[in-house]
Amino acid sequence: MAKKIITKTVEEINRKIKQGKAVVITAAEMVDTVKELGPQKAAAEIDVVTTGTFSPMCSSGAFINFGHTKPAIKAARVWLNGVPSYAGLAAVDTYIGATEPTEDDPLNRVHPGQFKYGGGHVIHDLVEGKKVELRATAYGTDCYPKRQVKKKITLQDIPYAVLLNPRNAYQNYNCAVNLSQKTIYTYMGVMKPNAGNANYATAGQLSPLFNDPFYRTMGLGTRIFIGGAKGHIIGPGTQHNPNAKRDKNGIPLTPAGTLM
Active-site residue set: 143
**Residue 224, beta-bridge partner list:** 231
Element (H, E) at 127: helix 119-127
Residue from 250, 252, 257 nearest 39 by CA: 250
Q: What are phi and psi of 161, to 5 degrees?
A: -155, 135
Closest among 171, 174, 176, 169 to 246, alpha carbons compared: 171
The string of DSSP letters for 161-179 reads EEE--SSBS-TT---EE--
Alpha-carbon dihedral 115, 57, 239, 95, rounded to 10 degrees: -70
- The upper half-sphere exposure of residue 75, i.e. CA atoms within 13 Å in the direction of its Cβ, equals 27
d(CA 123, CA 223): 22
Q: How far apart are CA 69 and CA 97, in angstroms?
A: 24
Give the Cα separation of 210 and 93 in Å (integer).
36
* Rounded distance between C-alpha atoms, residue 99 and residue 119, angstroms: 6
